[in-house]
Amino acid sequence: MFTILSIILACTAAESAQYRAALVADMDTGRVLYQENANELNYPASLTKIMTLYLTFDALEHGRLALNDYLIVSQAAANAEPVKLGVPAGSKIRVEDAIKALAVHSANDVARVLAENLKGGQEESFADLMTRVAREIGLTRTNFENSSGLPNDDHMSTARDIALLSMAVYKHFPQYWHFFGIKSWTYNGKTYTNGNRLLGSYNGCDGMKTGYTKKSKYSLVATAHRDNRHLMSVVLGAENKDVRANVAAQMLNRGFSMLNSGATPVAVTKPVSQPAPQPTPAPAPQPTYTYNSPTQTAPATTFNAAYNAATSAAAPTYTASSAAPVANSMPGTAGVQFGAFSSRASAESQVRNVKNKLGVNAVIETASNGMFRVRVNGLSETAAQQIRASAASNGIDSYVFH
């Protein structure tokens, strides 16, 4: 008996050394049931895309996007590696397909497409927004440098922060939660399978997201429903996919067992074989847009306080001016006009047409003759010509003005 027990303990210790951090928490109450190194900095890899999708859902909720809108693919987005959907520069992708590309396939090129279309063509500006929103909903040790989680030494988070972010998505945007539970998705004739293997093997699993880079190793947020309980496990820095899936399942099992038994929450600090570097995240950026948080004015200092802030009834929002179209980020004195109309209703229809087909947010200006002009202003010559060419290929008459 002693020998068998020793073997079991040795195996458990060996597996424990094969990941950097983990926790399991109740998604409905925010109660952390068990945690290991949950506040230690790690590279989040593609778990970053949870925040990219959070901001996408926010744009949908506030009318800045619609699921059937089209997003324009830039050359920079098309060049993203290594995991990608392969959308070519100059092409378009529907918002709903873009969401699925991130949730199922973790496509880095499409993450950048969303970032650029949501924040004026600048992924860096979108990353600033990501970090700002992270602070507002209580993520105290997270700094984002890009929209996908591709390697960057200053791109950091913790298991605790990832859990809060995931809970915020669950609470703020339940209407979009089902995207994280899609097992497979077909696009342009090719079928992509979700990397979260618990979706097909763990009873009640309904999400959520995988991640991997060479530095981060393998990570997973996995959620599951059982007996009217909804739990979340977070595993960071696992040695391989098997360890990632096994530890996530073990954490969920432990959490359901603790709920059933009424056990006291447990926090553990354990040694890890290869801890992640520990740089100090850059300070929260000072954005130029107006950001409104209905829940807090200072960072929450405890997990419970942060949970209450992160999952409040109203999601934090930012103004539509912070979601300018791709080309608008290229300052200059040129502009593109998409027609002049005798009625505002016709001009508004053209604005929607331009947004849906080109992904560009045009404005309506009243001319001296009473006509309503549909325009995009403040562009570089190159950007203006690119938009004019794209409009022509989409059957929209336009011209460049200066």
**293 catalytic residue (yes or no):** no
**241 catalytic residue (yes or no):** no
For every residue of the chain, which 3-state class applies, written as one string?
CHHHHHHHHHHHHHHHCCCCEEEEEECCCCCEEEEECCCCCECCHHHHHHHHHHHHHHHHHCCCCCCCCEEECCHHHHCCCCCCCCCCCCCEEEHHHHHHHHHHHCCHHHHHHHHHHHCCCCHHHHHHHHHHHHHHCCCCCCECCCCCCCCCCCCEECHHHHHHHHHHHHHHCHHHHHHHHCCEEEECCEEEECCCCHHHHCCCEEEEEEEEECCCEEEEEEEEEECCEEEEEEEEEECCHHHHHHHHHHHHHHHHHHHHHCCCCEEECCCCCCCCCCCCCCCCCCCCCCEECCCCCCCCCCHHHHHHHHCCCCCCEECHHHHCCCHHHCCCCEEEEEEEECCHHHHHHHHHHHHHHHCCCCEEEECCCCCEEEEEEEECHHHHHHHHHHHHHCCCCCEEEC
pLDDT reading at 378 higher than 50: yes
Amino acid 111: pLDDT: 97
Average pLDDT, the chain: 83
**201 catalytic residue (yes or no):** no
Distance (Å, whole) CA 387 – CA 391: 6
Confidence (pTM): 0.71
Percentage of the chain exceeding pLDDT 90 = 53
pLDDT reading at 285 higher than 60: no
pLDDT classification of 275: cutoffs 50, 70, 90: low
Amino acid 370: pLDDT: 76
Instruction: Choose which CATH entry (3.30.70.1070, 3.40.720.10, 2.60.40.1080, 3.10.290.10) describes domain 325-401.
Output: 3.30.70.1070
Amino acid 57: pLDDT: 94
Mean pLDDT across the stretch 190-203?
Answer: 96
What digits encode the pLDDT tens for the residues 302-344?
A: 566 666 666 654 444 443 333 333 333 334 678 888 988 878 8
Rg of the chain over all Cα atoms, to the nearest angstrom: 23
Every domain of the chain with CATH number 3.30.70.1070 lies at 325-401
CATH superfamily of this structure's domain 18-321: DD-peptidase/beta-lactamase superfamily (3.40.710.10)
Of the listed 74, 106, 216, 398, which one is catalytic?
106
pLDDT reading at 210 higher than 50: yes
What digits encode the pLDDT tens for the residues 3-56?
A: 444 444 444 445 556 999 999 999 988 899 999 999 999 999 999 999 999 999
Higher-confidence position of 113 and 286: 113
Every domain of the chain with CATH number 3.40.710.10 lies at 18-321
pLDDT classification of 381: cutoffs 50, 70, 90: confident
